Amino acid sequence: PISDEYTGIQLKVAEMYEKLGMFEEAHTIYVEMLYRYFDALHTPERVSEEKRPHLIQKDLRVLIKSLEMSKDVATAKRDLLAHLLLAQEEVLTRSPELKKFFDRRREKITAASGRHAVEEFESFVNEDNIQLDQDGYMILNLQKDSSAWEPFKEEFFTARDLYTAYCLSSKDITSALSCKLTTVEWMVMADMPPGQILLSQANLGSLLYLQAERFEAQIHQLKLKRNEETSLNPGQDKNIIQALRQLHRNRDSCFEMATNCYQSVIKFAKKNHKLRFNAKDLLDPSAAQAIALSTYGMGVINLHKGVLAKAERLLKDSITLARETDFQELLKEADRELTKVSKAKETKLKQEGKEIASN
């Protein structure tokens, strides 16, 4: 049975188990509920059209609960993907517009992978998409019909972020990045709170930076291989040179897109000063955290480029911003990167000292 009365009792029992610390028993109930929801939604004509969105919302809520307790990452990731695809199909069925957009996006991804290139990205944080009212609170200035996402859009995007986190935990940066690119774009279409869009784009910048670092590691390995292999024939050497060129292009493209992600959030915040001052009044700290994370991201990129003075200033700014919203994770990371800046400055001074001495 999937009636509200029956599942309501099951949820109460599961919550009671949780309070007693009996997490395995609670998890078993959640998984059993998920199977029944999934089966009902997959069986033609079992659930009426008007009840499907409500049932999908319940399904995603139970899914998120069950994932919080799951110890088996592989199974959790597989279940998450299956339920996400079910919700996604529902959205596409209810909105032909979105289906067209989704098909175009799939074509773009296929074309990029065919060229071994990185998917292109354009910032969604701009004055066309996001505006502030006279009190400095954000309003989404989009004439989008987001009814296709209702009433489960909050749960849908929470689940998508969980999928990105699972991909990252298994070091699958490519899948995490692809998922996040779509998420940011869809958040705009679904009329999500603008602060959450800002934070999602800042997180996308961090994923792009991670991907750039991964390409850099591959470049390093390939160069080592080329130097060590003495018996390479001209054809093999040519292939390695071509692969290196593509990796360099991909790396540069990721750094560029990460910079674009961060800069657009920072630029938007600078243009809209009220955004920062009102951050403390808002219950949702997403906008303030997005600005802090983007400032930190630009600091890390400048450290990577060797622009140490700018990197130091940006990292210190990000610490100040992170303290304002008690963004503890970022405080730790920014402190760690500042230590790297200090070490890099010391190394640079020693190097300059040696050069002066030798002259």
How far is the C-alpha of 336 from the C-alpha of 330, rounded, in Å?
10
Query: Distance of CA 271 to CAs 24, 196, 315, Å?
Result: 50, 18, 21
Is the pLDDT assigned to residue 46 strictly greater than 80? yes
Q: Which residue has the higher pLDDT, 53 or 8?
A: 53
Is the pLDDT assigned to residue 40 strictly greater than 80? yes
Is the pLDDT assigned to residue 198 strictly greater than 80? yes
| DSSP annotation string for 257-302 | HHHHHHHHHHHHHHH-THHHHTTTTSS--HHHHHHHHHHHHHHHHH
What's the pLDDT at 270? 76
What's the pLDDT at 258? 92
What's the pLDDT at 49? 85
Is the pLDDT assigned to residue 70 strictly greater than 70? yes
Q: Where do we find the tokens 């997490």?
A: 23
Radius of gyration for the alpha carbons in the chain, expressed in angstroms and rounded: 24
Categorize the per-residue pLDDT at 44 as very low, low, confident or very high, splitting at 50, 70 and 90. Answer: confident
Categorize the per-residue pLDDT at 139 as very low, low, confident or very high, splitting at 50, 70 and 90. Answer: low
pTM given for the model: 0.78
How far is the C-alpha of 320 from the C-alpha of 245, rounded, in Å?
40
Range among 232-236, 267-271, 310-314 rated most confident: 310-314
Q: Give percent of the chain with pLDDT exceeding 70.
A: 84
Kindly report, residue by residue over 75-112, the tens digit of the pLDDT: 888 889 999 999 988 888 888 777 777 777 677 666 66
Q: Give percent of the chain with pLDDT exceeding 90.
A: 26
On average, the pLDDT of the chain sits at: 82
Categorize the per-residue pLDDT at 236 as very low, low, confident or very high, splitting at 50, 70 and 90. Answer: confident
How far is the C-alpha of 63 from the C-alpha of 76, rounded, in Å?
9
The backbone torsions φ and ψ at residue 32, rounded to the nearest 5 degrees and listed phi first, read -60, -40
Pairing of strands 138-140, 130-132: antiparallel
The residues with which 139 forms a beta bridge, in sequence order, are 131
Residue 31 belongs to what H/E stretch?
helix 23-42
